[in-house]
Structure 1
């Protein structure tokens, strides 16, 4: 049995449940603005036009020292079936079903509408605590106008201005009180204890650090099937997916577990050519996509097999490589391609010709819609991540270097052959190798590509960029040892770079053994000065 201290320590690591608070309401009432306010960051795209938010956007937040999960939803209009609204409505209903509490946003700038009445009826059926927040009350006069929303049959109306943080504290105090009353913050039964902070600190101290969750961004042109791929991986309609290009507008993080490993899948907006971007919302979306690539470990580049490879595909792939992220290629809609036994090989050759920097990346040909070969995607992702996170011992790198330079000699520069003396890995994610050379100017691009290719082949580094740093070896400066008193001539100058402390003390003892004519006391023992690396011996005077 655990002792009192052990049990207390274990209890402290047991995670408490984080209640989920859903933000729902008609389009363009300020849900994303309130979401960003409560999150303390601009996580959701905000624009003064309806329908900007479409997918559910989750985020961890701290409210009055309590940890909660917030979910922003798309516009919920039960009476409108135009365009994307039915799909957005279904996403909002899922959030309502999952929520422990609901903040229902309306806008004081519009009177109570039939759509508001319908939303209220749906929320009353949920049997969840509902808090009606009337947004955009930027003045006391507008707060008075908000009282008209009592006609919706709610117990209390909270006038707020999310953009200016007006009235928000009263709202969250009411929400937290209701959650506490419902015991929503209770510890999770049968939950796995959190990792010991000391264990995490030890893992983080290891070279390369510790990754609790592998972050995987899914990128590509519009309408190639990124959201459908994630939905198929999850086995649920988590993300809004349709045949309309540009359905996804924001970068959506989805936590996911595969074979005991934790991942964050990041669905991103499709990236079009800059010349075709017209709306500011799309500019925000592309900016978020770039940031999503930067914070991911691995990028899945999704290509549409039914469309020819385009320059924009190459631009996106090049962006991933320049940001130093691992990459694997998923060719989607392969079920729609007329093919024979040579079709896949022909596509791979075309891909290698147009994007040579992706020739080494793992590739899969799938159908996200039917699920064909989707079960292999995460295996390919882990292959790329292990290469991205690889750590190679110095002795192994130098054996590789010796064999590689023997296989193909380094080039000659201005009549002098390049020499590579030593190699070592200095960092991971991506792997970075430092090579000591006699001339950093003698390294040609062709020979660099040769070295990178041999590294991939030797250590299986497929799917990750490899960075090589060529550093000119500096001439070693000899440091002298000064000996006071008689000493053998061969001891008057010693290269101390070759000696450790025990060998330095050995020099001292050898001197005493040769000087047998005089007995030295313990007070006359030689002193080693670390500052100037000199050995001071007693004189004969």
Structure 2
């Protein structure tokens, strides 16, 4: 396994900016306001032939005042406990503060090797703080500017040298297989993070009764039933017109990016509140991106199986999402951890259908039957001939129809073919793409 390096420090010293600089992309949310980061965010850093796992953490507070702050501090302490090396980040412009000294003692009490990183040290601004940081007793401080990239090479060199001198249990590492990527999506406060923790079997991310606790999209590699998975918890998606805060805009963009790069989208619907317009909008986004989808009716312990609510929700979902007809709906309770096994089985099945490739001869026999039952409408009293069909790609399944006239098939007739194809070949909950093109039939006699 690769080594784990945790970035810790008081709020607003540039930890997330340093995380983004080291992993080489803007993964963590950054803002001038303190306390933006709440959950642990992980990323892989590759330097030369070495690879290690980097963990961004929430800013430490000496005396947490709220339950949320307590949870943030617990997450940070967990990151320190599980790390092989700790990067203690201080602000080169502000000097070593009493809060820095307090959390320096916290790191030392955990008996973890640590490096002091003096951030915001562009030019000679951080030199007085760099000299002052020797008093922390963690060896030679490293002056960097995460914003401008100054000193990053020296930091990486020092970190990798330490890992190479480790016990041999970590250090050099081959890239990990990510497997199936599952993004948990939904409106705020539908129980996404609670389900995320229930799947992992640990309190990996913060949860709370108030909406908007999750800000970053948290990616975790996970193994279930001997299958490698990548699970992504995302921030709640509200209607675009209601988003005014810049930080929420960034969180929304991060969630949508997780959707674009996932394989299976797990849409969480609050069973108590029922299906709302925003749930339908999110489902439409999933279909437009071509992702496989499974719907989870969370908080089912508050509704009860066999109630009228169940029939109403299933009927409304079926009528509201015709573009992914037959999408599987699983009722579960993340809080009580019920329905998890059935949910994972359906995710695996939907993923298999999303990757499915159909035999060309079977497709063309189906096409002959479908067009005989409902022939294409005539255009200007001329018949439209569909010569043959082929599947040219998967993820999602994509098909090409060869016709005698360009743009001869109407959208309604293509929807008819898609629905017939979905029903005949058992492709529920999977977006299907079907395009037309003109050209000669290569199988016809010359």
Q: SS of 1:169's equivalent?
A: helix
- Out of 65, 70, 91, which is 2:75 matched to? 91
What residue is the counterpart of 2:369 in the other structure? 403
2:387, 2:441 within 8 Å by CA — same for their partners in 1?
Answer: no
1:326 maps to 292
Offset of residue 321 of structure 1: 0.8
Question: Which whole-Å CA distance do the structure 1 matches of 2:32 and 2:67 have between them?
Answer: 19
2:332 maps to 1:391: no
| CA deviation after TM superposition for structure 1 residue 324, in Å | 1.2
What 5-or-longer segments of structure 1 have no aligned partner? 1-16, 196-210, 477-495, 500-541
The CA distance in 1 between the partners of 2:417 and 2:71, in whole Å, is 51
Which moves more between the two structures, 284-293 or 415-424?
A: 415-424
1:310 CA drift (Å): 2.2
**What pairs up with 1:29-428 in 2 under 5 angstroms?**
29-82=13-66, 84-184=68-168, 213-337=179-303, 340-428=306-394
Indicate conservation of the 8 Å contact 1:412/1:418, yes or no. yes
Q: 1:141 to 1:386 in 2, by over 3 A?
A: closer
| More relative contact order, 1 or 2 (CA 8 Å, 6+ apart) | 2
Report the 3-state secondary structure (helix = DSSP H, G, I; strand = E; otherwise coil) of the residue aligned with 1:322. helix
List, as ranges, runs of 4+ consecutive aligned residues in structure 1 with deviation greater than 6 Å: none
Distance 1:377-1:340 versus aligned 2 partners, 3 A rule: closer
Stretch of structure 1 that moved more, 141-150 or 29-38:
141-150
CA contact (8 A) 1:38 1:63 kept: no
> Deviation at 1:364?
0.6
Shift of 1:333: 0.9
* Distance (Å, rounded) in 2 between the aligned partners of 1:168 and 1:187: 19
8 Å CA contact 1:35, 1:44 repeated in 2:
yes
Answer with 1 or 2: which has the greater Rg: 1
Q: Contact 1:100/1:184 (CA < 8 Å) preserved in 2?
A: no
Give the superposition deviation at 1:338.
Answer: 6.0
Scaled by the length of structure 2, the TM-score of the pair is: 0.93
Question: Alignment partner of 1:255: what SS?
Answer: strand
Secondary structure, counterpart of 1:54 in structure 2 = coil
Aligned residues: 446
Do the aligned partners of 1:23 and 1:105 also contact (CA within 8 Å) in 2? Answer: yes
Q: Is contact 1:35–1:72 with CA below 8 Å preserved after alignment?
A: yes
Distance 1:90 1:186 in 2: 25
Asked whether the 8 Å contact 2:164–2:171 carries over to 1, the reply is: no
Which sections of structure 2, spanning at least 5 residues, go unmatched?
Answer: none
Q: Deviation digits for residues 185-233 of structure 1, max 9, x if unmatched?
A: 6589xx9x999xxxxxxxxxxxxxxx96111111111111111111101
* Cα RMSD, aligned residues only: 2.5
Q: Write the distance in 2 (CA, Å) between the matches of 1:116 and 1:280.
A: 29
3-state SS in 1 of match to 2:76: helix
What SS is found at the alignment partner of 1:110? coil
Preserved contact between residue 75 and residue 85 of structure 1 (Cα < 8 Å): no
C-alpha distance 229-24 of structure 1, shift in aligned 2 (>3 A): same
CA–CA distance in structure 2, aligned partners of residues 325 and 255 of structure 1: 19
Q: Describe the SS at the equivalent of 2:126.
A: helix
SS in structure 2 opposite 1:436? Answer: strand
User: 2-side partners of 1:442 and 1:498: how far apart?
Assistant: 24
Q: What secondary structure is seen at the aligned counterpart in 2 of 1:417?
A: coil
Q: Note if contact 1:129-1:178 (Cα within 8 Å) is conserved in structure 2.
A: no
**Taking structure 1 as the reference length, what is the TM-score of the superposition?**
0.77
Asked if the contact 1:326/1:384 (under 8 Å) is kept, the reply is yes
User: Structure 1 497/336 Cα, relative in aligned 2: closer, same or farther at 3 Å?
Assistant: closer
In structure 1, the residue matched to 2:2 is 18
Q: Would the aligned equivalents of 1:19 and 1:68 in 2 still touch at CA under 8 Å? A: yes
